[in-house]
Structure formats: structure tokens, C-alpha cells
């Protein structure tokens, strides 16, 4: 019974390709016979694309053997396992065996975006009102005069829909391009006899792909050679246990991850013929979730919408009440005409339009516009944003935990049996070294000393134990030409030195390692480290007999050398760190290097200060939670750390200290910390695909300065949305109040439905586009980060909103009730002229307030304004179309042409808001220093300002 249960358990591999494997293995007679097509035969290949693809997909070991194994398959697809695919054959292979691309969900067309924009309930109600208005108007006033009011509303709706749809469509195209860039993985292949890098999209059947730890398997294929290759197939099978890949189990599947080891594979199928491609057919790409800021602003929009609805209902009932009272006083309460119906319909249209104006659908649009704009700019600055929310979250980052190698330093290291790099000859005949920077530096040093790369082929690699972040070393076992074996070990200097009991003298003689000599070597290691050099030890051990299944020994090694590798600090890093400190962002270095090396680099970068703390990972992880709580605020450098130490540090900073934490990572083991952090930053050059997949932002140039640029743009996104919210709430308050107060007192609304719709477009779409695309300023990095629980609408914003609203309402209401006398308007069109003037002045108030909103605190709002062509274009377009509305579209807009004096007065009333803004900014509203310290969510003191600014 136990045997049967064990057998069942061993056969419970979840994915269906395992079932295919059993089927094909157990019933070879039922294997599908493929007939070679004429197209394949003419191309010279000897195997059908579907047959080749089925081998890996079905784990068909019998089919692989019947085709002569990996070597036989290589022959049938006309590729040399040494030389790889010829570049000249790539297009032919793509035409026969397919492209390495998946079928994507079709993009929405422009007409779909128009249709979605038309689904807005308030716009639908307005369209019904417009249709009824045209019908009643034509019946009462005849053609074409009777249709002008309704047609004006229709044209306004059409304009709003077109602008909204165009904006959304352009964003969708931009996000699609970014998504394609996100999936563009660079893989290493052998082609034309040379090892080179190609895009995953250019991979073809027959390519020889080099895989290493953390890589994503880019296509289906079969194993050629490698060591300790372990694959995580959980993305396909759901099984968490890694699969050991070797000659007995040679199949690799696209989309899986290399968890350990290294190897080479022959690509047998690409694109839609892979298992991953077939799976993608059944899935549609999910859209981005709403960002935290969008969720927060949706709540604000709902509240404002409800207030607008209340005002709309009150305005309608006030207008209707006055209308009915007037009819009753005139004795016409029982006499109703078409004109009465048109008046009531207009009242209803005004009420619905107030809702349209009040509902700030521009808030989510502004967030998306700002994020999309920032993502595009960051892409040009070597930062690929994978998740929208990372942009805004990075603006609130109060701590950055960064790696040292490659991020703060150049990762170009300068100082033989090896596995991490390879000496290759390029097409130009020059010898170059491909591989990890550390391995490359060691090989280059060996070549510089006169070593021959041909020695590499004299010994056969028997076993490799790859570098492990826990052991801090890697080992390789080789067979010697003279017989026996030799184990080589390299890694962290103090770790490898601890494994050694002998060392090689200058004359090549191996002698015992005394305590004094061990101390002397330790002093050399510390001396190198204090000079900011990365230190490594290389050792060997001769072994007579060992099995492939045995572990490589961990003792009695002979020390060959101590190496100090110079990895220079990147240009600009010191300035970038200084910028972070000035912005209230703490920078902490977390590295696996020697503590003396880490401290030297940290001091050079400006990270480690006199009162800062540097600690080693083992010491950190042995601290109690109470001790951690005391040391973390002072912690600036953690050396010899494990990925778990980084994860613990991030968790403590987020949960105990309530900081917004950004973390950099490049290795597979960094994935948990990247996932735990508020913002995960993966390195684009040194980073593995596993790290990139768990990150929010990929730093394409691995440069710390780029990380600071992401923070700058993140802050810009946040403050740009604040600017827009300040602008929109001011328009909302004024538009609602002026129509409501006017309706209560005079029984009519000075702003018609068409005019309100035009204001709505200025306020929502155009306002969002103008203010959400402002570039970041230097001042953004001279203020503290926004806390987790900080209010989005600040006291400064309320001061500006209330001040501007009071000014605009006061001026416009004075002209509403005393305008004819003040402007000396007479004649039959005096009322129409006054309403047009009020509409014109109202629009110019918003245009100038848009300029005011460029900076919520500084008086000079014109700084860099003329370098922002989007903002200038929108302001000029708004003014131009306003002139067209007033002077040329009178019939549709319900306006009359204005004299130049009234135009000038409208502009002066609007421009006076600049003076009001300057006066308002002189009123202090932010809390005093003492209360700020008490109320700041993170408990930090605000940064000092003025000449002594941090």
C-alpha cells in the first residue's frame, strides 16, 4: 500500500505536458508521424517545425533519441554546436520556424476610445436634452434658428469626447511601447562562431543559448552542456521544487527561470509554438491596477461629485420655483406653451451641466497623464518603469537601500579555470572576455600575466558549485591531464583563507600556513579593503579520487593568491548622494563585500558620516528587535550581508519606522527584498531576469544617479497632481456658486450649458495636460519627502483655493447684479452682452489661475514657463478658442461679440488674480516648527530652509 501511495505521489506532476510525456513514452506506436513539407525541404531542413516543437513541449525523450539526440537535432536544423547559427540564415529560419513573439491582445482602436468616452452618463443625459431642445426649438422657432441651442451642446460634447479619446488613445500607444520594452530581454548566444548578445525577439530555432543563474529561459529547447543547472518551472507547472536539468532530463521550457548553475541549450521552438506561447493564447494581458494616488483621488472626485449633484438639484429647484411663482403671479399657471417647455428644458440642461462641471473626471486623467509623461521621460533617462504606481511612490521615498557594486561603482573592474566568464575572439579578431565583472577582471589579469586561454581546454570540468551568497564562495572540480582531480575555490577573502592550511610561495613551492603568516595575509586583505579594493582569495586542492555526486571538499586548500580588484566609484554618485541627503532621503549601503572595502567606498560616496554606523551582516542578524530599533536609525553601511539581512532591514524600516523604502537588487536572491520594499529597483545590466520581474523600476544603466532622477520625477508627479487639484477645485467652487447664487437671486444662470461645457474642457482635459506635464525643478529635492499618512490637499492649497475663489466670486457676482450700470450697457442686447462679458471674464480668470497653479508657494510663477511648450500651447489654444467662441460661434455658444474695451477688462480681471496669488502666498499657513515635529507622520524634523539649508 505504501509503495502504491509513493508511486502515486511521484506521478502527480501537475502540468499537462507531463501527461503527454507519459503518453508518448508508453505508447510510442501512437506517436504522430510528421511529413516533411515542401517548404521545409527546399530550405534544406530535415524536421518539421511542429515535430521539433512537440519534443520539448511533450518531454518526448523517445522522440529526441529517434532524432539522434541534441546533436542529431542540430544536424537536422543545419546548425553547428560550436559555431552556432549564421546571421545570414536568421530570416530564413524565422520564415520556416517562426518568430520568437507571442500573440498579443489586439490594441483598442481610436473609435473604441471614442465609444468609451461617450459612455459617460451625464454626457448621455445632455445629448438627450440637446435632441429634445432641437426638436422643441424647430417646432416653435422654425428651421434653422430653433436648433442652435441644442446643436451648440452637441458640438461641445463632440469636442470634449474627441479631446478625451485622443488623449487616452495616445497614452495607450505609449503604454504599449513601454510594455514591449519591458519584455525585451537580452540573451547571450553563439552565432557565427562568436558569443554575442541578442534581443529575445531575434532568437531563432537552432540558436545556442548560454544560461546562467537568474536568467529566464527564452524559448523551448534541449540541454547541450552545463553544470548544476536547476530550473524553476513553477510558472508553468505550479511545482515549487526546482527541476535538475541534465542529459537524462534535457528539456527546457520558455518562461521558466534558472535557479542555479549554468548551461547551454539548443533552441527547438520559439514564439507561439512554445509551451509558454500556447499558454499565452488563453490569457489576455491584464491592465494596470489603479495607483494609490488614483484611488485616493477617486474618493475626492466622488465627494466633489456629490456636492455638485446637490448644487445642481438645488439650482434646478430654485429656477423652477421662481419660474412657477412668476407664472402664478402673471395668472398663467394653467397656460403652458412650447416656450415654457424649452425654458424648463434649459433649466434641466443647466443643472445637468453643473454636474458635468462638478464631477472632476479630470483627476484620474491628470494622474495617468502625469505618470505617463514621467514614464516617457524616465525611459529616455535609462529608467524603465514596470508599474505605474512606482513613479508616485518613489516621490515619497525616505530611504534608499543600495548595493555597492555596479550601482555606486562602475562595475568595470581592473587588476584560470573559471566558469563565470569566457575568453572569446570577436569578428575583428580581437580577444575579449565575456562574463561577470569579477570573473572578467581575474581572467584579464591572468592574460596580462602571460596566461594562455588555450589552457582552459586542457582539463575537463567535472563539477561546479556556483557562487552562493551564504557560503560567499564558488568551487570547480576539474580532471587533470596527468590523472587525478584538482578543486579550485575562489570567494570572499576571509572565507577562503579560513579553508586553507598551506600557501604557495613565490618560487611555486607549497608550504604550511603558520598563524603568523595567516595574520600577515589578513593584514594584507584589510589593507586592500581600506584602499576601497574588492578582495578575493584563490586556492586549490589536489584530490586523487572523487565521485561526481560527492560535494567538493571545504578544507585543506592551498592558498594561491589574494587579489585586490579596483571598482571605481561612478562619476556623479557623490553629488547624487548629497542631493538625496538634501531631500531628506537616507542612503544606506547594503553589500556582500568586506566591511573595510564597504566603509571606504561609503565614505568616498558621502554615505558614511562620522556619527554613522557600519555593521556586518552576521552581527546585524543576531541583534534582538529592541537592539535593531536602536541601531537602525544610525545604520549607514551593512557589509557581508545575506539577502535575508536586506529583507529584514527593509521590513524593519517599513513596519517599525514607517519609512517609504526603495531597494536596489540584481541577484535572484534579492527578489524577496525587492518585493518587500515600497519600490524595488532592479539593475538592467547586472540584474537577473528574476530580480527584474520582482522590481517596480529597472535602472537600465545601473547608475545611482538614475535612481535619484526617478525620485525627482516621482516628486514631480505628486506635486503636479496637487497643482491640478488646486486649479480644478477653484474652478469647481466658482462655477457652482455663481450659477447657484445667481439662480437664487435673479432666477437665471449667467453661464449656459454650452459655456459650462467649454469651461469643463479647459478645466479637465486641457488643465490636466498643461499642469500634469510640468518638468521637475531643483527645488523639489530640497524639501522633505511626503509622509505615508500626509494629507493630499495641504493647507497651502486650501489657502490658494479659498483666496482665489473669494476674489473670482466677488468680482463676477458684482458684475452679475450691477454689471449693466458699471459697464453702462444699454439696448436690447445689454443682458446678452453682460452674460458674455461674465463668461469671458470667468474663462480668463481660469486661464490666469492655471498660470498661478504652476507653483503653489513661490511668487514667481513664470519661471521656466516659456520652456514648457505643452503649457504654452494649451494656454494659447484656450485663448484662441475663447475668442472664436465669443466672436464667431455666437449662435451656438449663446454669446454676442464684445467691444475691445470689454475684452481688455476681461483680461485685466483675469490677470489681477496673479496679484491676488502673490498676496496670498505671503500669508503663512503651514504649521510652526514645534507642531510640525509633533504632527509629522514619520516624526522627523522638517528640513531647514534659507541660506543654511541642508
907 and 914 in contact (C-beta within 8 Å)?
no
Cα separation values, 58 from 250, 398, 488, 712, Å: 12, 50, 39, 50
Closest CA to 659 of 635, 694, 633: 633
- Give the alpha-carbon dihedral of 871, 877, 878, 882, to 10 degrees: 170
- Three-state DSSP class for 616? strand
Q: Which residue has the cell 598563524?
A: 515
- Helix (H) / strand (E) element for 903: namely helix 900-920
- Bridge partner list, 657: none
Q: What's phi and psi for 395, nearest 5 deg? A: -65, -20
Closest CA to 589 of 576, 606, 572, 575: 606
Set 403, 567, 666, 835: catalytic member: 403
Angle 828-831-832 from CA coordinates, rounded to 5°: 90
Write the DSSP assignment of 758-825 as a string of letters.
Answer: HHHHIIIIIHHHHHTTPPP-GGGGGSPPPPTT--SS-HHHHHHHHHHHHHHHHHHHHHHHHHHHHHT-
Cα separation, 485 vs 541, whole angstroms: 9
Cα separation values, 246 from 231, 233, 551, Å: 11, 15, 18
511 and 503 in contact (C-beta within 8 Å)?
yes
Q: What's phi and psi for 221, nearest 5 deg? A: -170, -175
Cα separation, 558 vs 479, whole angstroms: 18
Helix, strand, coil abundance in the chain, percent, nearest 5: 55, 15, 30
Cα separation, 154 vs 106, whole angstroms: 31
783 and 949 in contact (C-beta within 8 Å)?
no
539 and 496 in contact (C-beta within 8 Å)?
yes
Q: What's phi and psi for 400, nearest 5 deg? A: -120, 120
CB count, 10 Å around CB of 174?
A: 15
Cα separation, 73 vs 80, whole angstroms: 10
57 and 269 in contact (C-beta within 8 Å)?
yes
Closest CA to 533 of 562, 506, 508: 562
- Say if residue 220 is exposed, middle or buried (CB neighbours under 10 Å; 0-12, 13-18, 19+): buried
Closest CA to 47 of 252, 273, 323, 330: 273
- Give the alpha-carbon dihedral of 925, 928, 932, 935, to 10 degrees: -80
Closest CA to 705 of 611, 781, 784, 613: 781
- Helix (H) / strand (E) element for 705: namely helix 704-746
Q: Is 593 an annotated catalytic residue?
A: no
Q: How far is CA 778 from the centre of its chain?
A: 22
Cα separation values, 572 from 511, 568, 576, 700, Å: 47, 12, 6, 16
Residues contacting residue 582 through CB under 8 Å, at least 6 positions apart: 781, 782, 943, 949, 950
Q: Which residues carry out catalysis?
A: 403
Amino acid at each position: 500500500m505504501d509503495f502504491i501511495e509513493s508511486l502515486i505521489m511521484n506521478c502527480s506532476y501537475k502540468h499537462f505536458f507531463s501527461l503527454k510525456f507519459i503518453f508518448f513514452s508508453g505508447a510510442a506506436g501512437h506517436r504522430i508521424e510528421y511529413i516533411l513539407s515542401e517548404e521545409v525541404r527546399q530550405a534544406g531542413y530535415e524536421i518539421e517545425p511542429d515535430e521539433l516543437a512537440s519534443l520539448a513541449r511533450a518531454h518526448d525523450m523517445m522522440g529526441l533519441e529517434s532524432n539522434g539526440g541534441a546533436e542529431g537535432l542540430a544536424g537536422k536544423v543545419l546548425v553547428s554546436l560550436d559555431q552556432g547559427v549564421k546571421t545570414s540564415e536568421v530570416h530564413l529560419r524565422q520564415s520556416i520556424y517562426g518568430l520568437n513573439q507571442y500573440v498579443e491582445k489586439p490594441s483598442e482602436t481610436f473609435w473604441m476610445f471614442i465609444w468609451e468616452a461617450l459612455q459617460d452618463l451625464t454626457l448621455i443625459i445632455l445629448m438627450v436634452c440637446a435632441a429634445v431642445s432641437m426638436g422643441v426649438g424647430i417646432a416653435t422657432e422654425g428651421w434653422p434658428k430653433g436648433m442652435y441651442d441644442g446643436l451648440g451642446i452637441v458640438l461641445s460634447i463632440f469636442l470634449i469626447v474627441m479631446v478625451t479619446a485622443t488623449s487616452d488613445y495616445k497614452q495607450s500607444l505609449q503604454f504599449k511601447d513601454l510594455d514591449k520594452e519591458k519584455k525585451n530581454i537580452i540573451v547571450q548566444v553563439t552565432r557565427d562562431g562568436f558569443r554575442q548578445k541578442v534581443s529575445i525577439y531575434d532568437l531563432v530555432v537552432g540558436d545556442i543559448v548560454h544560461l546562467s543563474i537568474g536568467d529566464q529561459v527564452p524559448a523551448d529547447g534541449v540541454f547541450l552542456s552545463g553544470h548544476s543547472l536547476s530550473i524553476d518551472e513553477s510558472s508553468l507547472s505550479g511545482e515549487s521544487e526546482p527541476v535538475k536539468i541534465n542529459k537524462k532530463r534535457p528539456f527546457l521550457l520558455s518562461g521558466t527561470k534558472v535557479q542555479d548553475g549554468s548551461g547551454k541549450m539548443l533552441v527547438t521552438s520559439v514564439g507561439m509554438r512554445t509551451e509558454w506561447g500556447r499558454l499565452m493564447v488563453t490569457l489576455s494581458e491584464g491592465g494596470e491596477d489603479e495607483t494609490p494616488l488614483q484611488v485616493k483621488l477617486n474618493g475626492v472626485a466622488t465627494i466633489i461629485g456629490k456636492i455638485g449633484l446637490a448644487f445642481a438639484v438645488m439650482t434646478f429647484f430654485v429656477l423652477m420655483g421662481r419660474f412657477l411663482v412668476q407664472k402664478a403671479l402673471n395668472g398663467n399657471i394653467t397656460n403652458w406653451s412650447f416656450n415654457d417647455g424649452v425654458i424648463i428644458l434649459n433649466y434641466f440642461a443647466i443643472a445637468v451641466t453643473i454636474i458635468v462641471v462638478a464631477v472632476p473626471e479630470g483627476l484620474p486623467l491628470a494622474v495617468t497623464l502625469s505618470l505617463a509623461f514621467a514614464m516617457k521621460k524616465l525611459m529616455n533617462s535609462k529608467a524603465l518603469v514596470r508599474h505605474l504606481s512606482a513613479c508616485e511612490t518613489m516621490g515619497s521615498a525616505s530611504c534608499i537601500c543600495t548595493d555597492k557594486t555596479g550601482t555606486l561603482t562602475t562595475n568595470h573592474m581592473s587588476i584560470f579555470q573559471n566558469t563565470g566568464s569566457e575568453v572569446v575572439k570577436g569578428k575583428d579578431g580581437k580577444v575579449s572576455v565575456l562574463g561577470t565583472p569579477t570573473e572578467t577582471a581575474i581572467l584579464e589579469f591572468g592574460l596580462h600575466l602571460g596566461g594562455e586561454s588555450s589552457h582552459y581546454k586542457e582539463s575537463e570540468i567535472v563539477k561546479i558549485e556556483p557562487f552562493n551568497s551564504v557560503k560567499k564562495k564558488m568551487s570547480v572540480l576539474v580532471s587533470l591531464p596527468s590523472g587525478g582531480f584538482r578543486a579550485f575555490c575562489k570567494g570572499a577573502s576571509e572565507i577562503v583563507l579560513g579553508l586553507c592550511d598551506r600557501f604557495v610561495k613565490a618560487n611555486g613551492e607549497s608550504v604550511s600556513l603558520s598563524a603568523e603568516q595567516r595574520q600577515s595575509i589578513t593584514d594584507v586583505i584589510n589593507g586592500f579593503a581600506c584602499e576601497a579594493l574588492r578582495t578575493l582569495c584563490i586556492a586549490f586542492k589536489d584530490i586523487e579520487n572523487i565521485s561526481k555526486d560527492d560535494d567538493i571538499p571545504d578544507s585543506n586548500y592551498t592558498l594561491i593568491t589574494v587579489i585586490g580588484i579596483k571598482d571605481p566609484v561612478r562619476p556623479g554618485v557623490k553629488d547624487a548622494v548629497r542631493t538625496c541627503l538634501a531631500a531628506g532621503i537616507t542612503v544606506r549601503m547594503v553589500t556582500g563585500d568586506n566591511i573595510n572595502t564597504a566603509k571606504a567606498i561609503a565614505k568616498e560616496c558621502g554615505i558614511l558620516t562620522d556619527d554613522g554606523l557600519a555593521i556586518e551582516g552576521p552581527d546585524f542578524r543576531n541583534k534582538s528587535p529592541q537592539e535593531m530599533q536602536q541601531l537602525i536609525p544610525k545604520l549607514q553601511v551593512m557589509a557581508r550581508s545575506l539577502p535575508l539581512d536586506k529583507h529584514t532591514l527593509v521590513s524593519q524600516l517599513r513596519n517599525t519606522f514607517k519609512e517609504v523604502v526603495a531597494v536596489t537588487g540584481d541577484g535572484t536572491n534579492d527578489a524577496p527584498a525587492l518585493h518587500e520594499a515600497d519600490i524595488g529597483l532592479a539593475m538592467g545590466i547586472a540584474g537577473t531576469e528574476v530580480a527584474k520581474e520582482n522590481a517596480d523600476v529597472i535602472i537600465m544603466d545601473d547608475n545611482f544617479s538614475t535612481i535619484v532622477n526617478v525620485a525627482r520625477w516621482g516628486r514631480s508627479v505628486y506635486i503636479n497632481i496637487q497643482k491640478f487639484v488646486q486649479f480644478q477645485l477653484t474652478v469647481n467652487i466658482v462655477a457652482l456658486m455663481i450659477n447657484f447664487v445667481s439662480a437664487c437671486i435673479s432666477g437665471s444662470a449667467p453661464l449656459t450649458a454650452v459655456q459650462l461645457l467649454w469651461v469643463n474642457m479647459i478645466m479637465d482635459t486641457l488643465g490636466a495636460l498643461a499642469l500634469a506635464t510640468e518638468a521637475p525643478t531643483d527645488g523639489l529635492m530640497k524639501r522633505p519627502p511626503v509622509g505615508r499618512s500626509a494629507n493630499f490637499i495641504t493647507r497651502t492649497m486650501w489657502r490658494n483655493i479659498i483666496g482665489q475663489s473669494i476674489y473670482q466670486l466677488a468680482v463676477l457676482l458684482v458684475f452679475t447684479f450691477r454689471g449693466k450700470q458699471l459697464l453702462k450697457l444699454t439696448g436690447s442686447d445689454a443682458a446678452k452682452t453682460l452674460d458674455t462679458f461674465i463668461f469671458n471674464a470667468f474663462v480668463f480668470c481660469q486661464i490666469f489661475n492655471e498660470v498661478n497653479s504652476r507653483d503653489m508657494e513661490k511668487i514667481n510663477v513664470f519661471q521656466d514657463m516659456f520652456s514648457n511648450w505643452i503649457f504654452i500651447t494649451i494656454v494659447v489654444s484656450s485663448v484662441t478658442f475663447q475668442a472664436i467662441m465669443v466672436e464667431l460661434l455666437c449662435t451656438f455658444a449663446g454669446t454676442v461679440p464684445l467691444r475691445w474695451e470689454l475684452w481688455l477688462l476681461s483680461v485685466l480681471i483675469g490677470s489681477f488674480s496673479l496679484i491676488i496669488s502673490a498676496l496670498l502666498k505671503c500669508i503663512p499657513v503651514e504649521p510652526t516648527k514645534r507642531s510640525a515635529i509633533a504632527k509629522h507622520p514619520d516624526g522627523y524634523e522638517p528640513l531647514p530652509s534659507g541660506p543654511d539649508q541642508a
